[in-house]
Amino acid sequence: MKKYKIFRCKKCLTPSTRPRVTFNKKKICNACQNHKILINFDWKKRFQELKKIAKKINKETVGKKYNCIVPTGGGKDSSYVAWHVKNTLNLRPLCVFCEPSLFTKQGRQNLINFKKSGFKLDILKTNNYFRDYDIKCFKRAGLPQQAWLQAIVIYPIKVALKHNIKYVFGGEEAESSYGGSNKNFLKKFVKLSENKKFLLEGQEIENYYTKKQLKKFKNIYFTKKELKKANSIYKLFWSSFEFWDERKHFKIAREKCGLRYSKKRDTNAINKHSHTDQRLYALHMFLAYLKFGFSRATTDTSIAIRLGYMDRKKGLKIVKKYDHIFPKEYLSYYLKYFKMDKEEFVNILKSFVNKKLFKNNDIFNLKFKNKFV
Ligand SMILES: [Zn+2]
Protein backbone atom coordinates (compact mmCIF):
# COMPACT_ATOMS: atom_id res chain seq x y z
CA MET A 1 0.00 0.00 0.00
CA LYS A 2 1.18 3.50 -0.82
CA LYS A 3 2.30 5.43 2.22
CA TYR A 4 -0.16 8.18 3.13
CA LYS A 5 1.95 11.29 3.53
CA ILE A 6 0.71 13.86 5.97
CA PHE A 7 2.50 16.95 7.11
CA ARG A 8 1.88 20.33 8.69
CA CYS A 9 2.68 23.73 7.27
CA LYS A 10 6.26 24.74 8.12
CA LYS A 11 5.11 28.13 9.40
CA CYS A 12 1.78 27.44 11.12
CA LEU A 13 0.27 24.02 11.97
CA THR A 14 -2.27 23.64 9.16
CA PRO A 15 -2.22 20.00 8.05
CA SER A 16 -2.01 18.74 4.48
CA THR A 17 -5.26 16.86 5.13
CA ARG A 18 -7.29 20.06 5.43
CA PRO A 19 -9.90 20.14 2.64
CA ARG A 20 -8.95 22.42 -0.27
CA VAL A 21 -5.65 23.58 1.29
CA THR A 22 -2.67 24.10 -1.02
CA PHE A 23 1.07 24.29 -0.26
CA ASN A 24 4.04 25.78 -2.06
CA LYS A 25 7.33 23.97 -2.64
CA LYS A 26 8.58 25.00 0.79
CA LYS A 27 5.54 23.30 2.37
CA ILE A 28 4.01 26.60 3.40
CA CYS A 29 0.20 26.61 3.34
CA ASN A 30 -1.87 29.09 1.37
CA ALA A 31 -3.18 30.68 4.61
CA CYS A 32 0.39 31.67 5.53
CA GLN A 33 1.16 32.77 1.96
CA ASN A 34 -2.00 34.88 2.01
CA HIS A 35 -1.14 36.32 5.39
CA LYS A 36 2.13 37.66 4.01
CA ILE A 37 0.19 39.50 1.32
CA LEU A 38 -2.37 40.78 3.83
CA ILE A 39 0.13 42.32 6.22
CA ASN A 40 1.67 44.31 3.35
CA PHE A 41 -1.63 45.25 1.77
CA ASP A 42 -2.78 48.83 1.22
CA TRP A 43 -5.76 48.65 3.58
CA LYS A 44 -6.28 52.38 3.70
CA LYS A 45 -6.98 52.48 0.01
CA ARG A 46 -9.21 49.41 0.25
CA PHE A 47 -11.29 50.88 3.02
CA GLN A 48 -11.81 54.05 1.00
CA GLU A 49 -13.18 51.84 -1.75
CA LEU A 50 -15.58 50.28 0.72
CA LYS A 51 -16.77 53.72 1.76
CA LYS A 52 -17.40 54.53 -1.88
CA ILE A 53 -19.41 51.33 -2.30
CA ALA A 54 -21.45 52.24 0.79
CA LYS A 55 -22.13 55.70 -0.62
CA LYS A 56 -23.36 54.15 -3.83
CA ILE A 57 -25.64 51.77 -1.90
CA ASN A 58 -27.11 54.68 0.06
CA LYS A 59 -27.72 56.59 -3.16
CA GLU A 60 -29.49 53.63 -4.76
CA THR A 61 -31.75 52.99 -1.80
CA VAL A 62 -33.08 56.35 -0.69
CA GLY A 63 -36.28 55.92 1.31
CA LYS A 64 -35.78 52.20 1.94
CA LYS A 65 -35.87 51.09 5.55
CA TYR A 66 -32.98 48.63 5.15
CA ASN A 67 -30.34 48.60 2.48
CA CYS A 68 -28.07 45.72 3.41
CA ILE A 69 -28.04 42.44 5.32
CA VAL A 70 -25.58 41.52 8.05
CA PRO A 71 -25.72 37.89 9.19
CA THR A 72 -24.96 37.92 12.89
CA GLY A 73 -25.08 35.81 15.99
CA GLY A 74 -24.19 38.37 18.62
CA GLY A 75 -20.61 37.08 18.67
CA LYS A 76 -17.48 39.23 18.53
CA ASP A 77 -16.85 39.23 14.79
CA SER A 78 -20.34 39.69 13.43
CA SER A 79 -21.14 42.33 16.09
CA TYR A 80 -18.05 44.23 15.03
CA VAL A 81 -19.06 44.12 11.37
CA ALA A 82 -22.69 45.09 12.10
CA TRP A 83 -21.59 48.00 14.26
CA HIS A 84 -19.23 49.39 11.60
CA VAL A 85 -21.71 48.84 8.78
CA LYS A 86 -24.16 50.97 10.72
CA ASN A 87 -21.89 53.55 12.31
CA THR A 88 -18.89 53.88 10.00
CA LEU A 89 -20.46 53.14 6.62
CA ASN A 90 -23.77 54.74 7.65
CA LEU A 91 -25.79 51.96 6.06
CA ARG A 92 -29.12 50.64 7.33
CA PRO A 93 -28.55 46.97 8.10
CA LEU A 94 -31.14 44.31 8.70
CA CYS A 95 -29.34 41.68 10.77
CA VAL A 96 -30.13 38.02 10.22
CA PHE A 97 -29.65 35.40 12.89
CA CYS A 98 -29.93 31.64 12.39
CA GLU A 99 -30.38 29.90 15.71
CA PRO A 100 -28.02 26.94 16.09
CA SER A 101 -29.29 23.72 17.60
CA LEU A 102 -28.15 23.23 21.20
CA PHE A 103 -27.82 27.00 21.53
CA THR A 104 -26.29 27.96 24.89
CA LYS A 105 -27.70 30.31 27.53
CA GLN A 106 -24.67 32.51 27.06
CA GLY A 107 -25.31 32.72 23.32
CA ARG A 108 -28.95 33.64 23.90
CA GLN A 109 -27.97 36.40 26.31
CA ASN A 110 -25.44 37.83 23.89
CA LEU A 111 -28.04 37.87 21.16
CA ILE A 112 -30.43 39.80 23.43
CA ASN A 113 -27.64 42.25 24.32
CA PHE A 114 -26.83 42.73 20.66
CA LYS A 115 -30.45 43.46 19.77
CA LYS A 116 -30.77 45.90 22.66
CA SER A 117 -27.74 47.80 21.38
CA GLY A 118 -29.88 49.03 18.51
CA PHE A 119 -30.13 46.45 15.72
CA LYS A 120 -33.13 45.04 13.90
CA LEU A 121 -33.04 41.25 13.69
CA ASP A 122 -34.71 38.67 11.48
CA ILE A 123 -34.45 35.36 13.34
CA LEU A 124 -34.65 31.87 11.86
CA LYS A 125 -35.43 29.47 14.68
CA THR A 126 -34.28 25.90 14.60
CA ASN A 127 -36.96 23.16 14.51
CA ASN A 128 -37.52 19.42 14.43
CA TYR A 129 -37.20 19.20 10.65
CA PHE A 130 -33.73 20.70 10.88
CA ARG A 131 -32.96 18.24 13.66
CA ASP A 132 -34.07 15.34 11.46
CA TYR A 133 -31.74 16.59 8.71
CA ASP A 134 -28.87 16.89 11.22
CA ILE A 135 -29.45 13.30 12.36
CA LYS A 136 -29.39 12.05 8.77
CA CYS A 137 -26.27 14.03 7.87
CA PHE A 138 -24.52 12.99 11.08
CA LYS A 139 -25.12 9.32 10.29
CA ARG A 140 -24.35 9.45 6.59
CA ALA A 141 -21.69 12.12 6.28
CA GLY A 142 -20.40 12.83 9.80
CA LEU A 143 -21.83 16.35 9.63
CA PRO A 144 -23.71 16.98 12.89
CA GLN A 145 -24.89 20.55 12.29
CA GLN A 146 -25.54 20.57 8.58
CA ALA A 147 -28.95 22.28 8.87
CA TRP A 148 -27.40 25.28 10.62
CA LEU A 149 -24.40 25.39 8.28
CA GLN A 150 -26.82 25.47 5.39
CA ALA A 151 -29.02 28.04 7.11
CA ILE A 152 -26.22 30.57 7.57
CA VAL A 153 -25.35 30.34 3.88
CA ILE A 154 -28.86 30.40 2.47
CA TYR A 155 -31.22 32.18 4.85
CA PRO A 156 -29.55 35.64 4.76
CA ILE A 157 -29.85 35.58 0.97
CA LYS A 158 -33.50 34.55 1.22
CA VAL A 159 -34.13 37.55 3.49
CA ALA A 160 -32.23 39.80 1.05
CA LEU A 161 -34.43 38.60 -1.81
CA LYS A 162 -37.58 39.11 0.23
CA HIS A 163 -36.69 42.73 0.97
CA ASN A 164 -35.20 43.39 -2.42
CA ILE A 165 -31.78 44.07 -0.88
CA LYS A 166 -28.70 43.52 -3.02
CA TYR A 167 -25.83 43.48 -0.54
CA VAL A 168 -24.89 41.09 2.25
CA PHE A 169 -21.98 41.97 4.54
CA GLY A 170 -20.11 38.93 5.76
CA GLY A 171 -17.27 38.79 8.26
CA GLU A 172 -14.18 36.80 7.51
CA GLU A 173 -13.55 35.15 4.18
CA ALA A 174 -12.55 32.11 6.17
CA GLU A 175 -11.59 29.78 3.33
CA SER A 176 -8.54 31.72 2.18
CA SER A 177 -7.67 32.88 5.72
CA TYR A 178 -7.49 29.37 7.21
CA GLY A 179 -6.13 27.46 4.25
CA GLY A 180 -9.03 26.39 2.07
CA SER A 181 -10.13 27.50 -1.37
CA ASN A 182 -8.26 30.60 -2.50
CA LYS A 183 -10.70 31.71 -5.16
CA ASN A 184 -12.27 34.52 -3.11
CA PHE A 185 -9.06 35.86 -1.64
CA LEU A 186 -9.34 39.68 -1.40
CA LYS A 187 -12.28 39.70 -3.79
CA LYS A 188 -14.55 42.69 -3.29
CA PHE A 189 -17.77 41.02 -4.37
CA VAL A 190 -18.55 37.33 -4.09
CA LYS A 191 -21.48 35.46 -5.58
CA LEU A 192 -23.13 32.43 -4.02
CA SER A 193 -23.25 30.23 -7.12
CA GLU A 194 -19.46 30.23 -7.36
CA ASN A 195 -19.10 28.78 -3.88
CA LYS A 196 -22.22 26.80 -3.18
CA LYS A 197 -20.54 23.43 -3.31
CA PHE A 198 -17.92 23.92 -0.62
CA LEU A 199 -20.12 26.16 1.48
CA LEU A 200 -22.64 23.35 1.79
CA GLU A 201 -19.94 20.72 2.42
CA GLY A 202 -20.97 19.01 -0.81
CA GLN A 203 -24.33 18.00 0.66
CA GLU A 204 -27.46 18.15 -1.47
CA ILE A 205 -30.59 18.20 0.65
CA GLU A 206 -32.50 16.92 -2.40
CA ASN A 207 -30.78 13.57 -1.84
CA TYR A 208 -32.33 13.25 1.61
CA TYR A 209 -35.96 14.27 1.07
CA THR A 210 -38.76 14.06 -1.46
CA LYS A 211 -39.98 17.14 -3.29
CA LYS A 212 -42.99 17.37 -1.00
CA GLN A 213 -40.88 17.05 2.16
CA LEU A 214 -38.48 19.70 0.92
CA LYS A 215 -41.17 22.34 1.42
CA LYS A 216 -40.44 22.10 5.15
CA PHE A 217 -36.87 23.17 4.44
CA LYS A 218 -37.60 26.18 2.29
CA ASN A 219 -35.50 28.47 4.50
CA ILE A 220 -32.34 26.43 4.08
CA TYR A 221 -32.78 25.29 0.52
CA PHE A 222 -32.90 27.00 -2.89
CA THR A 223 -34.98 25.81 -5.81
CA LYS A 224 -33.22 26.20 -9.17
CA LYS A 225 -35.29 29.28 -9.89
CA GLU A 226 -34.38 30.86 -6.55
CA LEU A 227 -30.73 30.05 -7.02
CA LYS A 228 -30.77 32.01 -10.26
CA LYS A 229 -32.26 34.99 -8.46
CA ALA A 230 -29.76 34.63 -5.62
CA ASN A 231 -27.06 35.43 -8.11
CA SER A 232 -28.16 39.03 -8.20
CA ILE A 233 -26.96 39.38 -4.59
CA TYR A 234 -23.43 40.41 -3.73
CA LYS A 235 -21.59 39.31 -0.65
CA LEU A 236 -18.89 41.59 0.72
CA PHE A 237 -16.50 40.05 3.22
CA TRP A 238 -15.26 42.53 5.80
CA SER A 239 -11.86 40.79 5.85
CA SER A 240 -11.36 41.81 2.22
CA PHE A 241 -11.62 45.48 3.20
CA GLU A 242 -9.96 45.71 6.60
CA PHE A 243 -7.19 43.68 8.19
CA TRP A 244 -8.96 41.01 10.25
CA ASP A 245 -7.98 41.20 13.91
CA GLU A 246 -10.21 39.38 16.38
CA ARG A 247 -8.80 41.18 19.41
CA LYS A 248 -9.98 44.49 18.00
CA HIS A 249 -13.40 42.97 17.33
CA PHE A 250 -13.87 41.85 20.91
CA LYS A 251 -13.31 45.37 22.22
CA ILE A 252 -16.01 46.92 20.03
CA ALA A 253 -18.41 43.99 20.55
CA ARG A 254 -18.02 44.25 24.33
CA GLU A 255 -18.21 48.01 24.58
CA LYS A 256 -20.87 48.70 21.97
CA CYS A 257 -22.93 45.52 21.63
CA GLY A 258 -22.88 44.03 25.14
CA LEU A 259 -20.92 40.87 24.36
CA ARG A 260 -19.99 38.73 27.38
CA TYR A 261 -18.08 35.46 27.62
CA SER A 262 -18.55 32.45 29.82
CA LYS A 263 -16.03 31.59 32.50
CA LYS A 264 -15.66 28.09 31.15
CA ARG A 265 -14.16 26.90 27.90
CA ASP A 266 -15.13 23.73 25.99
CA THR A 267 -12.68 20.93 26.81
CA ASN A 268 -11.43 20.75 23.21
CA ALA A 269 -11.10 24.54 22.83
CA ILE A 270 -8.00 26.54 23.68
CA ASN A 271 -9.88 29.76 24.38
CA LYS A 272 -13.22 30.94 25.78
CA HIS A 273 -14.24 33.17 22.95
CA SER A 274 -14.82 31.15 19.81
CA HIS A 275 -18.15 29.43 19.12
CA THR A 276 -19.33 29.83 22.70
CA ASP A 277 -22.97 30.06 21.62
CA GLN A 278 -23.39 26.48 20.53
CA ARG A 279 -22.60 22.94 21.59
CA LEU A 280 -22.59 21.12 18.25
CA TYR A 281 -19.54 22.97 16.95
CA ALA A 282 -17.31 21.06 19.40
CA LEU A 283 -18.63 17.81 17.89
CA HIS A 284 -18.26 19.11 14.35
CA MET A 285 -14.58 19.77 15.06
CA PHE A 286 -14.11 16.42 16.81
CA LEU A 287 -15.33 14.81 13.59
CA ALA A 288 -12.75 16.85 11.68
CA TYR A 289 -10.17 15.20 13.93
CA LEU A 290 -11.45 11.72 13.05
CA LYS A 291 -11.62 12.47 9.33
CA PHE A 292 -8.62 14.73 8.80
CA GLY A 293 -6.53 14.52 11.98
CA PHE A 294 -7.01 18.08 13.19
CA SER A 295 -9.42 19.98 15.40
CA ARG A 296 -9.89 23.37 17.05
CA ALA A 297 -6.47 23.56 18.68
CA THR A 298 -4.84 23.32 15.25
CA THR A 299 -6.96 26.05 13.68
CA ASP A 300 -6.76 28.38 16.67
CA THR A 301 -3.02 28.02 17.27
CA SER A 302 -2.36 28.47 13.55
CA ILE A 303 -4.18 31.80 13.64
CA ALA A 304 -2.20 32.85 16.73
CA ILE A 305 1.09 31.82 15.10
CA ARG A 306 0.35 33.80 11.95
CA LEU A 307 -0.50 36.87 14.01
CA GLY A 308 2.72 36.50 15.99
CA TYR A 309 1.00 35.84 19.33
CA MET A 310 2.57 32.38 19.66
CA ASP A 311 5.51 30.47 18.21
CA ARG A 312 5.12 27.23 16.31
CA LYS A 313 6.78 25.10 18.98
CA LYS A 314 4.36 26.23 21.66
CA GLY A 315 1.48 25.81 19.21
CA LEU A 316 2.44 22.21 18.52
CA LYS A 317 2.54 21.47 22.23
CA ILE A 318 -1.00 22.83 22.62
CA VAL A 319 -2.20 20.87 19.61
CA LYS A 320 -0.85 17.63 21.11
CA LYS A 321 -2.58 18.41 24.38
CA TYR A 322 -6.03 19.39 23.07
CA ASP A 323 -6.72 18.38 19.48
CA HIS A 324 -7.77 14.76 20.21
CA ILE A 325 -10.18 15.61 23.05
CA PHE A 326 -13.80 14.54 22.75
CA PRO A 327 -16.05 17.21 24.35
CA LYS A 328 -17.53 14.80 26.85
CA GLU A 329 -19.25 17.57 28.82
CA TYR A 330 -21.80 17.67 25.98
CA LEU A 331 -22.28 13.93 25.50
CA SER A 332 -25.71 13.82 27.15
CA TYR A 333 -26.88 16.73 24.96
CA TYR A 334 -25.66 14.93 21.85
CA LEU A 335 -27.34 11.63 22.71
CA LYS A 336 -30.64 13.37 23.33
CA TYR A 337 -30.38 15.51 20.21
CA PHE A 338 -29.52 12.64 17.88
CA LYS A 339 -31.98 10.31 19.66
CA MET A 340 -29.51 7.50 20.22
CA ASP A 341 -27.69 5.64 22.98
CA LYS A 342 -23.97 5.96 23.62
CA GLU A 343 -23.13 2.76 21.76
CA GLU A 344 -24.82 3.84 18.55
CA PHE A 345 -23.31 7.32 18.84
CA VAL A 346 -19.78 5.99 19.34
CA ASN A 347 -20.21 3.53 16.47
CA ILE A 348 -21.19 6.35 14.15
CA LEU A 349 -18.12 8.33 15.20
CA LYS A 350 -15.97 5.22 14.70
CA SER A 351 -17.23 4.83 11.15
CA PHE A 352 -15.61 8.18 10.30
CA VAL A 353 -12.14 7.39 11.62
CA ASN A 354 -9.69 7.84 8.75
CA LYS A 355 -7.89 4.51 8.48
CA LYS A 356 -5.12 6.02 6.41
CA LEU A 357 -4.31 8.40 9.26
CA PHE A 358 -4.85 6.34 12.38
CA LYS A 359 -3.63 2.87 13.27
CA ASN A 360 -6.42 2.06 15.74
CA ASN A 361 -10.15 2.61 16.05
CA ASP A 362 -10.60 3.75 19.66
CA ILE A 363 -12.00 7.23 19.16
CA PHE A 364 -11.02 8.29 22.68
CA ASN A 365 -7.41 7.26 22.24
CA LEU A 366 -6.47 7.38 18.58
CA LYS A 367 -2.88 6.85 17.48
CA PHE A 368 -1.47 8.39 14.33
CA LYS A 369 0.23 5.98 11.94
CA ASN A 370 2.93 8.47 11.04
CA LYS A 371 4.59 11.23 12.93
CA PHE A 372 2.52 14.34 12.43
CA VAL A 373 4.59 17.45 13.06
ZN1 LIG B 1 0.61 27.82 7.32
Cα-to-centroid distance, 289 and ligand 1 (Å): 18
Contact 156, 150 (CB under 8 A): no
Cα-to-centroid distance, 14 and ligand 1 (Å): 5
Cα-to-centroid distance, 29 and ligand 1 (Å): 4
For the chain, domains (ranges, CATH) are 43-240 (3.40.50)
Q: Is 70 exposed, middle or buried (0-12, 13-18, 19+ CB in 10 A)?
A: buried
What local confidence, expressed as pLDDT, does residue 1 receive?
46
Cα-to-centroid distance, 290 and ligand 1 (Å): 21
What's CA 29's distance to the chain center, in Å?
Answer: 19
What local confidence, expressed as pLDDT, does residue 5 receive?
78
Cα-to-centroid distance, 307 and ligand 1 (Å): 11
pLDDT digits (tens, 9 = 90+) for 307-327: 999 999 999 999 999 999 999
Cα-to-centroid distance, 33 and ligand 1 (Å): 7
Cα-to-centroid distance, 294 and ligand 1 (Å): 14
Cα-to-centroid distance, 15 and ligand 1 (Å): 8
- What is d(CA 133, CA 203) in angstroms, rounded to the nearest whole number? 11
CA 106 → CA 121, 188, 259, distances in Å? 18, 34, 10
What local confidence, expressed as pLDDT, does residue 204 receive?
84
Cα-to-centroid distance, 25 and ligand 1 (Å): 13
Cα-to-centroid distance, 332 and ligand 1 (Å): 36
Cα-to-centroid distance, 32 and ligand 1 (Å): 4
Cα-to-centroid distance, 10 and ligand 1 (Å): 6
Cα-to-centroid distance, 6 and ligand 1 (Å): 14
Averaged in consecutive runs of 10 residues, what is the pLDDT profile of the chain (373 residues)?
A: 77 95 96 97 98 98 97 90 97 97 90 94 97 97 95 94 96 92 93 70 86 94 87 94 91 90 76 76 96 96 94 97 96 97 98 95 94 81
Cα-to-centroid distance, 18 and ligand 1 (Å): 11
Cα-to-centroid distance, 111 and ligand 1 (Å): 33
What local confidence, expressed as pLDDT, does residue 294 receive?
96
Cα-to-centroid distance, 306 and ligand 1 (Å): 8
Q: Which of 13, 16, 14 is nearest to 4 (CA)?
A: 16
What local confidence, expressed as pLDDT, does residue 212 receive?
94
